[in-house]
Structure 1
Amino acid sequence: MTNRSLTLALAAGLAAAAVPLATASAAPSACAAPVSTEINTELTERFGTYADTAGRWTGADSAYSVDLPDGSTAWIYSDTFMGEVDENGGRPADSPFLHNSIIVDDDGVLTTYTGGTEAAPESLVKVAGADETQRWYWFGDATVENGVLRVMLLEFVKTGTGVFDFKFVGNAVATLDPADMSLTSVTDLPDSTVNWGSAIYEDPADGYTYVFGVEDNQAQKYAHLARVPSGSLTTAAWEYFNAGEWTDDPNGSSRILEGVSNEFSVSRFQGRFTLVTGDATEPLSAKIVMYTSSDLAGPYTGKTELYTTPETGGNVFTYNAKAHPNLGDGDTLVISYNVNSFQGSDLYADASLYRPRYIDVHF
């Protein structure tokens, strides 16, 4: 069972009594209202068939996507099940479990990249010298700059023996060779209480890479914003948005939106900056919502419900919805979300449960 997923879901449940609805929901949006939503059958079948038959990757969470220089797409995952799916559609009890992996989709041909070997896979990026049961990286959003893949890293450490005894301790950036996903370097970022890498937005007009992060207080979650000159994510000093100004203080950024999930997306869609997220203003919410703004730093308003996840109920919960602007078009947002269960045995009994879902929202 993925500890982070359970923690995020329980935190969302606590939020109901402690967190008012996000105030950024009153003003109208310039985007058209969604007119229909349907399952993206192409992605669903592609990844479902691969997971069930390839004997390699059988499911994961997170699911960021980024286009690579050769035209293929890298899918960036955090907690990942490896191995085979048995004849009953389940996972063997000894299925390898990793904290991060990548699948490259080359025109429908999928290839999984991990560390270790195919027979004994390990997380693609590990904390140097650490026991991964005690210290590990989860992946955030990713981007390509100067021909290499940069993936945001969130470092966590185990603090006790309980399932929820772990904490966030730092941010870093992994640099990988997109030709074979070999790790080139890990660059630590300045100490910060913000989990950076929830979303990345590239702005070719002003020459900056913008990185969104989350101030995760469990019962309350707030989006923050930073930037760095394009092409220098690991080499230039970052700046942090603070109430209309940019500061060099990693802990000096201000809150720009309340009620986001730990992972979300920000893109330019129909003339507006568009933020898609799971609705963290409700306990264990099944809602996927959208906010828009005329400015990247907000305010984000016009809260619009895009979809209610049908899987949610009983032990099953959904989380970390995000759009994939590289896969949609001017009238459609391709959105993924994660599915999980509070009952760890469910993930072994039904391998299809712990996999991202894909939908198309048409406007």
Structure 2
Amino acid sequence: MTFHRARLRAATALLLGGALAAAAPLAASASPAHSAPAPTNAAPAHTSSAQPDGRHGGTETITTKATVDQPLTRTFGHYGDTAGRWTGADSAYSVPLPGGATAWLYSDTFLGTVNADHSRPTDSPFIHNSIVVERHGKLTTYTGGTATAPESLVRVPGGDENQDWYWFGDGTVEGNHLRVSLLEFAKTGTGPFDFAFQRTAVASFSLPSMRFEGITQRPAGTVQWGSAIYEDGEYTYVYGVEDLQSTKYLHVSRVRSGHLTTGTRQYWTGSGWSTDESSSARVMDGVANEFSVTKFQGKYTLVTGDSTEALSAKIVMYRGDSLTGPFLNKTVLYTTPETSGNVFTYNAKAHPELGDRDTLLVTYNVNSFDTADVYANVDNYRPRYIDVDVRIRH
């Protein structure tokens, strides 16, 4: 399997707007190409401020300051360089697990080793999804297949990975089960851009073993559900993206808490809830395919890459009083320093359980239009971790 599809997946999102294998826990106690700045020193303190205006609404004055999160950068950098398993991936959703562990959900993933010069061997195994669990300071990579012949952790039933595959969305915990959103894509022709979204599903894993339990399929539709998940007591809110390439629209659904795989979905119509998915309303545009929604400093906070600009390096935040929006007061949290030449960034999101009252831990992905960059320097295909201090004045 080659890396080109991962590169084209991200490139498409940015340029245009925007039998099952059981889980096998695999623990791990060219000419010069363009390199993104090293993550350990890439970002000087970044400051930004926003005030209410007619375009973005809101009643808050927001000041932010962003710096690299050094502990996470060092932890995943060391693990990727030395463990002989996970060496880089995109997506990077985090789900808190019982007992203080964290599951990091990844889509396209490189495995294997890293060369002494920090390059990636060109024969590195490449799969479409994986999970890395951090438990008591130890990282463990979960994939399908075996250590010598790894496969995606979750595969489309009866599918050929070169023709039909899953990327991961957000996840949540229900009792002793980890639920992970799945987005199925399939090839539609022979060209490199000839692939299309098919449907969403949900994968289940038992906890704490991380044993894969199965897939719950959902009806085919046009919205890519699972871009973000928020637990709000009585309901689990599942956010999705209607990706029209040139424009991406936010949609909102919900289901009774604890029933993500069995409950009846309700869809926000703009004025109420309906069980008819075709009634789902476009809440706003400007979101990316992956983002986050969380309660932060008194309001529901949406963090996303800015899809209103092609190849944008901006990570932005919106705020709202309701989980269905409107989300207002667009604020630039950070401008990614890696974006230059063929290298670009995408999939920004916040991780509230890893921040604190005044700080959002934000991750984003790095990639390149030139495959040589990704092999020449492993940092060109690894997530970045930043702490954003947010001060809000009403």
- TM value normalised by structure 2: 0.87
Shift of 1:12: 3.2
Kindly indicate whether the alpha-carbon contact (under 8 Å) linking 1:10 and 1:284 is maintained by their aligned counterparts in 2: no
1:291 aligns with 2:318: yes
Kindly indicate whether the alpha-carbon contact (under 8 Å) linking 1:24 and 1:301 is maintained by their aligned counterparts in 2: no
The residue type paired with residue 5 of structure 2 is: N
Distance of aligned partners of 1:182 and 1:193 in 2 relative to their CA distance in 1, 3 Å threshold: same
Distance of aligned partners of 1:15 and 1:352 in 2 relative to their CA distance in 1, 3 Å threshold: closer
SS in 1 for 2:374: helix
1: CA distance between counterparts of 2:296 and 2:153?
Answer: 32
Kindly indicate whether the alpha-carbon contact (under 8 Å) linking 2:17 and 2:248 is maintained by their aligned counterparts in 1: no
Equivalence for 2:372: 345
1:28 aligns with 2:50: no
2: CA distance between counterparts of 1:25 and 1:304?
Answer: 12
Shift of 1:293: 0.4
Equivalence for 1:83: 112
Shift of 1:283: 1.1
Shift of 1:348: 1.0
Equivalence for 1:336: 363
Equivalence for 1:184: 213
Equivalence for 2:44: none
Deviations 1:213-254 (A, max 9, x none): 000011110110000000000011101111111111122201
2: CA distance between counterparts of 1:353 and 1:274?
Answer: 29
Deviations 1:50-80 (A, max 9, x none): 0000011000000000111121000000000
1:265 aligns with one of 279, 289, 292: 292
1:308 aligns with 2:335: yes
Q: What is the aligned-residue RMSD (CA, Å)? A: 1.6
Equivalence for 2:279: 252
- Structure 1 stretches of 4+ with a deviation exceeding 6 A read none
Shift of 1:10: 3.8
For structure 1, which segment, 118-127 or 32-41, has the greater mean C-alpha deviation from structure 2 after superposition? 32-41
Equivalence for 1:110: 139
Equivalence for 1:157: 186
2: CA distance between counterparts of 1:47 and 1:306?
Answer: 23
The residue type paired with residue 281 of structure 2 is: S
1: CA distance between counterparts of 2:106 and 2:55?
Answer: 31
SS in 2 for 1:353: helix
Equivalence for 2:11: 9
Equivalence for 1:20: none
2:305 aligns with one of 260, 278, 284: 278
Residue pairs, 1:204-283, within 5 angstroms: 204=233, 207-283=234-310
Shift of 1:25: 4.5
1: CA distance between counterparts of 2:98 and 2:137?
Answer: 16
SS in 1 for 2:63: coil
Deviations 1:149-200 (A, max 9, x none): 0000000111112211111001100001132322101000122210000000
2: CA distance between counterparts of 1:148 and 1:26?
Answer: 39
Deviations 1:4-27 (A, max 9, x none): 5534434433449xxxxxx99421
Q: Across the two proteins, how many residue pairs are aligned to each other?
A: 354
- TM value normalised by structure 1: 0.94
2: CA distance between counterparts of 1:71 and 1:298?
Answer: 31
Kindly indicate whether the alpha-carbon contact (under 8 Å) linking 1:198 and 1:263 is maintained by their aligned counterparts in 2: yes
1:123 aligns with 2:123: no
Gaps of 5+ in 2: 19-52
1:322 aligns with 2:352: no
Equivalence for 2:67: 38
1: CA distance between counterparts of 2:290 and 2:302?
Answer: 11
Distance of aligned partners of 1:29 and 1:354 in 2 relative to their CA distance in 1, 3 Å threshold: farther
Kindly indicate whether the alpha-carbon contact (under 8 Å) linking 2:64 and 2:333 is maintained by their aligned counterparts in 1: no
1: CA distance between counterparts of 2:284 and 2:54?
Answer: 7
